[in-house]
């Protein structure tokens, strides 16, 4: 457990030039705290303590401004820079080494009890206030520009921007 906490802290230190030292990140970065809180709530969610998981995730949201449904799956070294306003839905899947900024939404587009939120593969960067909707996949090492609205799959390594998001590279 402590190894994962150090790993998360180091990942943020490497990705955020404003981070002066890892102790500062561990103590004062709400995006990191939200991911740590999610690890606990996700474990509770998967062991049939779903009400408790939802209640704790609500407390984490109040403290950090980041809402992550306990059912979402989040990989290693996922970082949320600034954090405020991030929303990650129940069936979202996020791979390793993903970096996202404030205001990102990984939302659903149906009320049916199916996979309805995005899958974000390893190494993806998602800019501030980007909205990704539905059961789509953002491929490995892709980038989503700030303010973009993504409703279709994004190829690995691609950069997409705009409303609706289009490939620019």
Where would I find the H helices in the chain?
Answer: 2-15, 22-28, 30-45, 50-64
Tokens of 32: 């990191």
Tokens of 2: 């402590």
Q: Which of these, 8, 2, 6, lies nearest to 99 by C-alpha position?
A: 8
Sign of the C-alpha dihedral, residues 110, 33, 129, 148? negative
Q: Are 19 and 27 in contact (CB under 8 A)?
A: no
User: Which residues belong to the active site?
Assistant: 82
Q: Interior CA angle at 114 toward 60 and 91, to 5°?
A: 25
Number of alpha carbons in the 13 Å side-chain half-sphere of residue 126:
37
Question: Residue 87 CA to chain centroid, in angstroms?
Answer: 8
Number of alpha carbons in the 13 Å side-chain half-sphere of residue 44:
16
């Amino acid at each position: 457990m402590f190894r994962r906490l150090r790993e998360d802290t180091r990942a943020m230190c490497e990705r955020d030039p404003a981070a002066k030292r890892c102790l500062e990140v561990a103590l004062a970065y709400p995006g990191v705290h939200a991911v740590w809180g999610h690890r606990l709530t996700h474990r509770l969610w998967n062991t049939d303590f779903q009400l408790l998981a939802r209640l704790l995730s609500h407390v984490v949201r109040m403290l950090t401004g980041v809402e992550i449904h306990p059912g979402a799956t989040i990989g290693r070294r996922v970082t949320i820079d600034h954090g405020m306003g991030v929303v990650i839905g129940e069936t979202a899947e996020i791979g390793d080494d993903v970096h996202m900024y404030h205001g990102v939404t990984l939302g659903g587009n149906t009320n049916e009890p199916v996979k309805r939120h995005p899958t974000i593969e390893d190494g993806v960067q998602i800019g501030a206030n980007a909205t990704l909707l539905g059961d789509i996949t953002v491929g490995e090492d892709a980038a989503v520009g700030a303010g973009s609205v993504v409703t279709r799959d994004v190829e690995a390594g691609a950069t997409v921007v705009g409303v609706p998001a289009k490939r620019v590279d």
